[in-house]
Structure 1
């Protein structure tokens, strides 16, 4: 994994990550976090970052539900507007203060995404009382709302991005790209295309269907004009495929957001489009292999994370710049420590106690037992340095674990030799090899 130097907007987070990353001495690159204490304050921080000098327009979306907001990225980008999140019945104080700041710098118009079930009249009235012109963009349901938003985006490109309206990850993957291209995002059902969407798409020359047949099946696909499917094995792999097809990597910069919550990605999509950088989805607690590989292969040296540690944990940041060679140095420095059943310290290790100890020294938390470590990682076909290799030595299933160190060797706490290096071709271990799991990407 690429080694990335860490920079944070919060001094507290900087201290925490300094403790995690040192003395690993990460090398060239930058990781930046833009966040607030919650999704509302995060939307404010993104707005300040994207529009420090203000703007004429503001887009408002509810922060507690996703359907009406999914298609909002392209509209906000066209309007040169931030997306600020609100509660259904009231505007959070931090958001209200940001609206005041933007109004002082020329904001005149507010666009509310969704009907009154999403954002009530009380919020609209509050915005009007602040001297802003308020326009609500909505339809009778999420599908018609996506059409209403698309009409404001415009039809110049005659290309549309299509996503399932019952879930958010695939539409978020496409949001920044669609925005940059001036293309709308339209929502469909898994097996059908709503009439309002089908009517709107008449005359379109291209439909990019985001996601596999599990989210948009062949029946819906066949009803879309000149459809092309872009999909991976999961939401994270789909994110990489969208970015690889459309995104510009010339700036060596990417935005990383949680794929398990829509709020930060929604507000971050405008920032990504503004910077002309890809927006990649990650798990909250670990960096998916597909995302880590894309960061490596595209030589991305700057990663901006949207959201706090609840959205994207420090371990994700650590894995982006993780120094595998340093971990292996630590592992090798413990050679000769004796084997001790149940041991987790330098006075004696068992196999999983040893791997847990080594990874913990580098800020990566592993479960205590071999079985739980097996259940934590991502399966890989060919082991790479820093991966965990597992063996069936006592009974069916994982019962022994070591760290692959390259040259077809692994280091482990052996019951006969203590911490030692063994070849994968060893006559005892080779026939008992179970598989490899990646835990640091």
Structure 2
């Protein structure tokens, strides 16, 4: 069992405590009429009620659903607290999730006097000290039905912002897939399904089925337990058939997310044989069944050159990279032209070089495979000792930026031709067998 998320959450509240907001029935009704309900909102309070709020904080909402006599708890992140007038501050609450236990059930499970007193206080805003915050999280986690919500909050508090490890690369790959589809990570997925106790960046996405504004009634009637990835029923029959074409084996999957826009679906699957931390890299495979093109992005880390008088970022190809290049070349040889399709570049492969510890928003450059090969064969790829390396400075701006790259994917101007299913079947298996993490995004017509 991977319980890293639990210890991260405990560690967070152990340092900062948490906040409880109490909503009366009038506030619940007003929230139910807003776009995101209790999932995301801003609210103003007098300064004296918010003086202990130092975002980010784990935040609970204590309320009574409109059609129930049971007091309910929801959990989210209080992300900001700012003075907006002489008398008031505005707080922002986001990433709200349902908890599948009422206050009565929670206190009955493991009675704790101090915790009961805190939860019984009838105040708009209550700061909970770290020791009691830990007890509250531990108590909530004793209900296995709460694990999805708690894990989501833990992951959202630890969202990678810099290119530091495979988790950050996977986060960037998922965001790249979403942008190639024309949406961002603030959009709600139609469905998110997770493999039991597997870590995946999909945990940080918003699930439409969790929109609390649609579920203000009796928790026992409307709040269904979250589904998990089960090998026999995790994937619908048509999607299973589609995945089988590419040999994306179910036992490697860690999660699936489904999005919809303008009559099209985007299905994102994360897969790795071992844990994400142990994987030897990350790949994104974007299969656009609408434009009939496939683009594969392999991530490579640029390290800062500390020995140079001029700051630079360097990547040194190794033996494994040479093996991967051989595989890519063999794949490209299978790409026969199609008289009905046009490509600026028929190669499926692109290398995304990211600067270690740089911000996800602006720390990357992209090279097509054939451009990369020209560079490593040229004199500008030779270092002071004649070793081969990719130098950020030596590229002198000759690379693809993220925006134009995504536009080329969307238009179908780059990527392999549609007649490559058999070759894809082989290469996806090889990537996973090489202990790399794979994010496969499939864009298709909703009625396909």
Give the TM-score normalised by structure 1: 0.26
The structure showing larger relative contact order (alpha-carbon pairs under 8 Å, at least 6 residues apart) is 2
Larger strand proportion of the pair: 2
Give the TM-score normalised by structure 2: 0.26
